[in-house]
Amino acid sequence: MNLASVTHDLAFMTPELVIAVGAMLLVLMGAFVSKSAYRAITYLSVVVLLVAGFLGVQHAPDNAQVLFNGSYVVDAFGGFAKLIIALTAACAILLSADYLAERNLEKPEYPVLALLAVLGMYVMVSAHDLLAVYMGVELQSLALYVLAAYARDDRKSSEAGLKYFVLGALSSGILLYGVSLIYGFTGTINFGKLMTIAKDTSNVGLIFGMVFVLSGIAFKMSVAPFHMWTPDVYEGAPTPSTAFFATAPKMAAAILLGRFLFEAFGEVVSQWRDVVSIMAVLSMFVGAIFALQQTNMKRLLAYSSILNMGYAMVAIAAGPVYGPSALLLFTAIYAITSVGMFGVLLSMRDAKGKEITKISGYSGLSKQRPLLSLALTIMFFSITGIPPLLGFFGKFQIFIAAVDGGVMPLALILVIASVISAFYYLRVLKVVWFDEPSVEIVGGLATTKVTVTGVTLMIALLTPFIGLIYTASMAAGHFFK
């Protein structure tokens, strides 16, 4: 590549460059100023993410631009995803500001690590060969390992970080083994070339490699049977870190898996649809049934995450014609709703300032914090799929994609899993609205109130604009067709 070509390609990577330069500048700021600059660094990181998110949409061309000799692609599909990733990551960082300061953990490393994780996610959603996939996954993962164990003096946090690291290393090995198989049997790691080879020849080694790569990415999504780490890491990690895990990284991994299968194997859907369908069914039932047994809100939300990633797998199983827009719309709404639910969780503190994570601690919340109870109710109704809230349209679009894509049984299982999940969401709301208070619940933190209010208004008030959101997701997913 000559200098002119590199300059041309870098012009399309402005969002990634903004995050990378912003993270480096904030590292220097944290190194040379006092500890009191933590809050300024936190807010500046939010600004960096918002700028990068909107630049991601602005720099998304109508026609896909393949950069760096086919390693990277910039298109509306990735641009839409980058905007939602940036918005939800910014909300998660805001949730951390007061929480970490209250626990004397206010260090500039936290927002910087979050920025670097988002940079990895941006690479993931735009990766066009398997080397870029691995670079993005590892850049994201290395930052998330540290965030999981950020409260290093807390035994549960250290345990969560260790579990996440060990199982994450295993998943990276699986992914790399798949990459080596694909390269060994085809001589290429480029998605476009793999599409041609997969379409023209029947290569058993290529299919095995594809399944291994699929499995490695499925771990990042916490899709069953690769979900084992999720409940323990969600429970043990600091709650703002858990909020971060549950939103932007899940969307990035889902978009990456969709792009990998749609771009590299979109012409041979029959060779991977069964594997994806099995994972979807397992995730939906594991997430729905095991959540019924939970008494801890963070573990309940962990299984809810597994369930919702099962829905995302249904969208992927629908194929490259109907799946991309449904995947984008659903994961965007899920990520927004999830960050709001963790905002509510962070607002639950007793008179001593201790975080309330037991579901029984939510007893009588409506009598002490009626607005917070209303916000939680709206979010739970949305993620359950009750109209006319945003969550309904995300699930409905996946249902339609599954029917049109020829996987009607998955559509029916989606409905059954949604009915089961409604039970445990309603169980929590019963505790909130009808039980008598068991503990005194004090006011939430300032940044938490802002985030919860903003997410609740988005879920409740964006419904009239769902047509515009749907049109945007359709336009973003069109180039796979």
**Average pLDDT score, the chain:** 84
Would you kindly state where each structural domain of the chain is located, as residue ranges? Answer: 3-480
List, in order, residues 6 or more apart from 147 with CB less than 8 Å away. 110, 113, 114, 117, 237, 238, 241, 244, 245
What percent of the chain is modeled with pLDDT above 90? 24
Render pLDDT for 272-285 as a digit per residue (tens, 0 to 9). Answer: 899 999 999 999 99
- Average pLDDT estimate for 153-169: 84
Render pLDDT for 93-142 as a digit per residue (tens, 0 to 9). Answer: 888 887 887 777 778 888 899 999 999 999 999 899 999 999 999 999 99
- Average pLDDT estimate for 409-422: 91
pLDDT for 355 beyond 60:
yes
Render pLDDT for 379-388 as a digit per residue (tens, 0 to 9). Answer: 888 888 888 8
Local confidence band at 460 (pLDDT 50, 70, 90 cut-offs): low
Local confidence band at 473 (pLDDT 50, 70, 90 cut-offs): low
Cβ burial of 83 (10 Å; 0-12, 13-18, 19+) is: buried
pLDDT for 233 beyond 90:
no
pLDDT for 45 beyond 80:
yes
- Average pLDDT estimate for 67-88: 86
